[in-house]
Amino acid sequence: MSRIFFVILAVVVFVGAVIGGRNFFLYDRNKVTTVGTVNIGGPFNLIDQTGKAVTEKDFAGKYMLIYFGYTFCPDVCPTSLSIMGEAIHMLHQKQQDKVVPIFITIDPERDTPEVMAAYVPNFYEKMVGLTGSMQNIKAAAKAFKVFYAKANEDDPDGNYTMDHGSTTYLMGPHGRYVTHFTHGTPATAIAAKLAEYL
């Protein structure tokens, strides 16, 4: 190896460290979120499927399993929510009582409380469906670092879709982040993890 190679390498590392800071050295940022203090979640101000205004305080003392999506979703959301319901059903009743599965729409234009009311019980009888103003949904998604965006807006029938993150978050009884499950995690694995906490 020539000296020039090491000089270039040193410069690249230095510039990377300056620009990227800590993250330059942490190639797997998802892994990092499972250790230490994680800034995921926060207050929300939404409307449930019965039309009632709710905030995170309404779930104080309970674990929350939170998933963001939309009822018009052809595949990913129904799969994730089915797995969520399945996982909770695998727990004992006493454990089930300690956790609230919550589906938060990122498509409040179509997902009114009525639409949510017809949708969420398909996956778990006590699943909560939350919608709200565009602004409050945006704030909630931001707090959970959930990306979403309208897609196929030029669909001739107006049947747009939404691109969105597909992570399920487990929040603790004080509303703080506990862990998360990536899309495709089997129900048995989720149930086993939940059982460690509940």
- Residue with CB nearest Ni ion? 73
12 CB neighbour count, 10 Å cutoff: 10
Q: What is residue 148's DSSP assignment? A: E
Q: Indicate the pairing of strand 128-130 with strand 53-55.
A: unpaired
Compute the least distance from the CB of residue 12 to Ni ion, in Å.
Answer: 39
Our separate counts of H helices and E strands in the chain read 7, 9
Strands (E), 48-147: 53-55, 63-69, 99-105, 128-130
Which CB sits closer to Ni ion, 77 or 91?
77
Using the rule CB under 5 A, give the single segment among 26-34, 64-72, 98-106, 168-176 that binds Ni ion. 64-72
Using the rule CB under 5 A, give the single segment among 9-17, 49-57, 63-71, 139-147 that binds Ni ion. 63-71
Compute the least distance from the CB of residue 78 to Ni ion, in Å.
Answer: 8
Compute the least distance from the CB of residue 163 to Ni ion, in Å.
Answer: 9
Which CB sits closer to Ni ion, 138 or 183?
183
Q: Give Cα 165 to chain centroid, integer Å.
A: 7
Which CB sits closer to Ni ion, 12 or 134?
134
Compute the least distance from the CB of residue 74 to Ni ion, in Å.
Answer: 8
Which CB sits closer to Ni ion, 175 or 181?
181
Q: Facing residues of 64 across strands?
A: 100, 171
Which CB sits closer to Ni ion, 77 or 140?
77
Compute the least distance from the CB of residue 36 to Ni ion, in Å.
Answer: 30
In the numeric block, which tokens belong to residue 164? 């969105």
Which helix or strand (DSSP H or E) is residue 136 part of? helix 134-143
CA distance 116 to 122: 10
CA distance 74 to 139: 25
Q: In the window 66-95, what residues touch Ni ion (CB under 5 A)? A: 69, 73, 76-77
Compute the least distance from the CB of residue 49 to Ni ion, in Å.
Answer: 18
Interface residues toward Ni ion, by CB under 5 A: 69, 73, 76-77
